[in-house]
Amino acid sequence: MTDAKTNIDETVKSNDVVLFMKGTKDMPQCGFSSRVAGVLNYMGVAFKDVNVLADADIRQGIKDYSDWPTIPQLYVKGEFVGGCDIITEMTLSGELDTLFETSGVAYDKDAAEKIREANG
């Protein structure tokens, strides 16, 4: 499990935005992962996707790493942000925009507004 923790730590710290998910950003394999990847893709955020279904040690390791029991898990600039419900709330409230702006992560502000309009 130490190798998984090291691998997770290096991935989180060496990428501005990382989504640990079931499946990939192009082919999510669960609804929650699909929702978060869809938001990031729609907003044009460059992110590293890690398919936890491909490695049981990573799948358990990420839960231990964040002390968060569910997947997907979003990290921005090395910090755990949250899972599907939190990312959905942050997207709709504009908090995700603020996080990206303060973290220097490029995203499409118009796309973020369209998400809020469609769900408002």
For strand 79-82 and strand 48-51, is the pairing parallel, antiparallel, or unpaired?
unpaired
Strands (E), the chain: 17-21, 48-51, 73-76, 79-82
pLDDT tens sequence across 32-86: 999 999 999 999 999 999 999 999 999 999 999 999 999 999 999 999 999 999 9
pLDDT tens sequence across 5-40: 999 999 999 999 999 999 999 999 999 999 999 999
What is the set of domains in the chain, with CATH numbers? 2-114 (3.40.30.10)
Binding residues for [2Fe-2S] cluster: 30
